[in-house]
Amino acid sequence: MAQDPIILIIRTLGEMYAFVIILRFLLQVSHADYYNPISQAIAKITNVPVLAISRVFPKIGKVDLSALFYAVAIKLLVLTLIILVAGMAMPNILQLIVLSVVGVLDAILTIYFWAVLASVIISWVAPGSYHPGPQLIQQLTEPLFKLARKVIPSIGGLDLSPILIFLVIQIVQSQLGRLLY
C-alpha cells in the first residue's frame, strides 16, 4: 500500500493543503501580521472555501474555527480517498472523523514543534530579522513562549521555555498516538 504512487500523490497533496489551512488558523489565533507576504499568500490560497465555511460555523469569541473545520474535512477526504484507492474496507464515519481530528491536532503540534525549533535557531543566527519568514515564525511562537515563561521564568538570561514546550508537545503527541490504538 505504501508503494502505490497514487496513494503517495493523494497523501502528499492532501497533507500539504491541510498544512496551509492549519497554518492559516494558527496565524489567525496568534494574531500574526496579516500584511506579511506569507500571510497574504496563505489567505489567498484558502480564502474561498474558508469564507464559505465561516458562514455556516460562527466565530467563538475572536476565534474563527472555519479553517479548522475545513482542515478536518480535507483530512477526512484524504483518508477516504486513500482507503478507496487501496481497496481496503471502509471504516465507519465516526472512526474516520476521529482519525481526521487527531490528524489535525497532530499537525498543529508538529507545526508548533518545528516553529519553536526555528524560532530558537533564528534567535541565535538572526535576531530581530526583518525578513517576512522569521517575523512570521516569531509571531506564531511568541504566544506559546509567553505562556511557557509563566511556568518557567528565565534563569540568568537563559530562556528555558522552549524545553517546556518541546516536552509538552512530545507528551501530547504520544497520548494522541495511544488514543488511536
* 63 phi and psi angles, rounded to 5 deg: -100, 125
Which of residues 116 and 158 earns the better pLDDT score? 116
Judged against a pLDDT cut of 60, whether residue 138 lies above it is answered with yes
The pLDDT of residue 101 is: 94
Expressed as residue numbers, the domain containing 53 is 5-180
The pLDDT of residue 181 is: 65
- Rounded to whole angstroms, how far apart are CA atoms 163 and 16? 27
Q: What is the pLDDT of residues 112-122, one digit of tens each?
A: 999 999 999 99
8 Å CB contact between 132 and 116: no
Helix, strand or coil, per DSSP, at residue 181: coil
The reported pTM is 0.89
Which of residues 33 and 128 earns the better pLDDT score? 33
Number of helical H runs and strand E runs in the chain: 6, 0
Mean pLDDT, range 132-148, rounded to an integer: 93
> How many separate domains does the chain show?
1
Mean pLDDT, range 106-133, rounded to an integer: 92
For residue 37, name the pLDDT band (cuts at 50, 70, 90).
very high
Helix, strand or coil, per DSSP, at residue 60: strand
Burial per residue of 110-119, b for 16 or more beta-carbon CB atoms within 10 angstroms, e otherwise: ebbeebbebb
For residue 100, name the pLDDT band (cuts at 50, 70, 90).
very high
Tell me what the pLDDT averaged over the chain comes to. Answer: 90
8 Å CB contact between 135 and 37: no
How open is the CA angle 77-79-80, to the nearest 5 degrees?
65
Burial per residue of 14-49, b for 16 or more beta-carbon CB atoms within 10 angstroms, e otherwise: beebbebbbbbbbbbbeebeeebebbeebeeebeee
Judged against a pLDDT cut of 80, whether residue 1 lies above it is answered with no
Amino acid at 161: S
Mean pLDDT, range 37-41, rounded to an integer: 93
Which of residues 3 and 120 earns the better pLDDT score? 120
Q: What is the pLDDT of residues 51-69, one digit of tens each?
A: 889 888 878 887 889 999 9
